[in-house]
Amino acid sequence: MEAGHRIPRLPAVAALARALGLSAGWLAFGLESPPGAEPDAAGLGKRARQVRDAQGLSARAVGRAAVLREGTVRAIEAGGMPTLDTLEQLAVLLGVSPAWLAYGLGPMEPPHRQSRPSASATP
């Protein structure tokens, strides 16, 4: 993994983070977990399905747009754990933060969509 030859699945990220004394959210996405909170990768499928349904998208449409198979999307929604690269593809397509999708951490919207102070607001 360190050499970049293998992309870990979410459970491997969580196990590695525990071994290193880090949060999985920080190791994967640079986000700290709130104190006392454990990242919940088990909720990934529910979060993915919720967003897909809210956007009126089929699993097939999501798979095609994210260059994944429909079966991969359905497997994730059923509790399968994707690799980080697959998770990030899915998050980009759904327009959500990968950290939120993976672990329920941070805001739902991706970092590039979060509001930033405007230049005119600075003194």
Domain ranges for the chain: 10-104
User: Once rounded to an integer, what is the mean pLDDT over residues 41-45?
Assistant: 87
**Residues composing the chain:** 123
> CATH number of the domain at 10-104, please?
1.10.260.40
**Residues 109, 16, 108: CA angle, nearest 5 degrees:** 10
Written as six digits, the tokens of 85 are: 């690269």
Q: Given this model, what pLDDT does residue 115 score?
A: 45
* Helix, strand, or coil (residue 83): strand
Is the per-residue pLDDT at 116 higher than 70? no
pTM of the model: 0.76
Q: Given this model, what pLDDT does residue 39 score?
A: 65
- What DSSP element (H or E) covers 86? helix 84-94
By the 10 Å C-beta count (0-12 exposed, 13-18 middle, 19+ buried), 96 is classed as: buried
Q: State the chain's mean pLDDT as an integer.
A: 81
Q: Given this model, what pLDDT does residue 50 score?
A: 94
